């Protein structure tokens, strides 16, 4: 009986132990299903504390920079985009100092240019004249002496000279500090003269009549405009014909120019030269003037006894005795 009782207790204990082990195994399985992967159990205490992950540092608050500021407020450090008001003080002082120096300097400069007697027009010098005198140019320029040199209108002076003196082709006006105005004149040169009422009108290379003289300048041919056909006169004015003749005269070789007495124009493409020794040259128009001059020089050397030369077609020049 005693043996039967022990056997019964032993069976009961095994059932109880089996039930406990099953319950523990069930808890472990449930924990594994909930976490996905079973985590090892760490012991509590110092060893457990050392094994924990180090906490991340807190992010700095906005505007704090490298300094410490109150929550939500701007820090006292030098963050990006922040400028201290004190930094502008040296620049402002420098700017004010520069302005304080520039204002009186500019005022002094304006006074020296316009108000003082240091930089005023006192003298007029003239250069480049050939026929005109310096007094002629000075009177025509009418430079207001005593005025500030900077205020002299150079364009107005130039126009006064050209309007008063047709012989002047161009004039350059320059300020020569501190007191002078310099005028450099370019005079027109006569290429031809036209006889009119016993006097002679000088004509430049552009066909401009610019002066009347009592006798023709030495070595300058006389221009004769002959009445050509009516259509030719309608299409080409006297100004155009004078210009064509003057260009021909300007293109002549020097020996031929010295021997030319008359340039006779019947039309713009019918220009004839009358030379000494009763010689004549049929020039044609003013076009291809350089080629015609070269052909005429060679032709006159080749036919020294000829009295008429035709270079209107410079590629086929001709010479004859009549």
Domain CATH number, residue 132: 3.10.20.310
| Tens digit of pLDDT at every position of the chain (322 positions) | 345 444 444 444 444 444 444 444 444 334 344 444 444 445 444 444 444 444 555 544 444 444 444 444 444 444 444 555 555 567 888 888 888 788 888 887 788 788 888 899 999 999 999 999 999 999 999 999 999 999 999 999 999 999 999 999 999 999 999 999 999 999 999 999 999 999 999 999 999 999 999 999 999 999 999 865 555 556 678 999 999 999 999 999 999 999 999 999 999 899 999 999 999 999 999 999 999 999 999 999 999 999 999 999 999 999 998 6
Choosing from 142, 162, 187, the residue where a domain stops is 187
250 shares its domain with 264: yes
DSSP-assigned letters across all residues of 35-57 = HSSPPPPPPSSHHHHHTSPPPPP
CB-based burial label for 300 (10 Å; 0-12, 13-18, 19+): buried
Does residue 151 form part of some domain? yes
How big is the chain by its Cα radius of gyration, in Å?
56
Q: Look at residue 218 in the predicted model and tell me its pLDDT.
A: 92
Burial of 63 (C-beta count, 10 Å sphere; 0-12/13-18/19+):
middle
Domain residues for the domain of 197 are 192-320
* Res 237: pLDDT: 87
The DSSP call for residue 287 is T
Surface-to-core class of residue 88, CB atoms within 10 Å of its CB (0-12 exposed, 13-18 middle, 19+ buried): exposed
297 located within any domain: yes
**The pLDDT value given to residue 38:** 43
Provide the number of structural domains found in the chain.
2
Residue 54 domain-assigned (yes or no): no
Token pair, residue 273, equals 């030269």
Same-domain check for residues 269 and 283: yes
How many whole angstroms separate alpha carbon 10 and alpha carbon 322? 171
SS3 content of the chain, % helix, strand, coil (to 5): 40, 20, 35
253 and 293 part of one domain: yes
Does some domain include residue 213? yes
Structure tokens at 9: 């207790």
Q: Please report, for the domain that includes residue 257, its CATH number.
A: 3.40.50.10960
How high is the pLDDT of residue 202?
A: 97
Burial of 223 (0-12, 13-18, 19+ CB in 10 A): buried
Residues 207 and 172 in one domain: no
| pLDDT value at residue 68 | 41
Query: Pick from 169, 187, 205: which residue ends a domain?
Result: 187
Give a yes or no: residue 229 inside a domain. Answer: yes
pLDDT of residue 85: 55
Angle (deg, nearest 10), helices 238-251 and 289-302:
50
Q: So what's the pLDDT on residue 227?
A: 67
């Amino acid at each position: 009986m005693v043996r039967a009782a022990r056997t019964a207790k032993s069976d009961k204990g095994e059932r109880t132990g089996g039930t406990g082990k099953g319950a523990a195994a069930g808890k472990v399985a449930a924990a594994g299903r909930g976490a996905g992967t079973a985590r090892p159990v760490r012991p509590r205490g110092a060893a457990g504390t050392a094994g924990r992950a180090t906490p991340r540092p807190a992010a700095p608050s906005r505007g704090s920079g490298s300094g410490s500021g109150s929550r939500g407020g701007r820090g006292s450090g030098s963050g990006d985009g922040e400028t201290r008001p004190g930094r502008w003080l040296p620049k402002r002082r420098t700017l004010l100092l520069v302005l304080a120096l520039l204002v009186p300097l500019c005022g002094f400069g304006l006074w020296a240019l316009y108000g003082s007697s240091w930089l005023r027009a006192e003298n007029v010098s003239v250069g480049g004249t050939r026929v005109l005198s310096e007094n002629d140019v000075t009177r025509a320029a009418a430079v207001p002496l005593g005025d500030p040199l900077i205020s002299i209108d150079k364009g107005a002076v130039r126009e006064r000279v050209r309007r008063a003196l047709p012989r002047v082709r161009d004039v350059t006006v320059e300020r020569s500090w501190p007191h002078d105005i310099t005028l450099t004149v370019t005079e027109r040169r006569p290429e031809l003269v036209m006889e009119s009422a016993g006097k002679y009108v000088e004509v430049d290379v552009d066909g401009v009549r610019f002066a009347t003289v009592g006798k023709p300048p030495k070595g300058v041919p006389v221009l004769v405009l002959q009445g050509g056909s009516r259509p030719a006169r309608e299409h080409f004015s006297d100004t155009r014909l004078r210009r064509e003749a003057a260009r021909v005269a300007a293109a002549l070789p020097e020996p031929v120019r010295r021997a030319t007495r008359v340039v006779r124009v019947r039309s713009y493409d019918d220009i004839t030269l009358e030379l000494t020794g009763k010689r004549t040259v049929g020039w044609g128009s003013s076009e291809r003037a350089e080629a015609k001059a070269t052909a005429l020089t060679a032709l006159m050397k080749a036919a020294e006894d000829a009295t008429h030369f035709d270079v209107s077609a410079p590629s086929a020049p001709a010479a004859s005795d009549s």
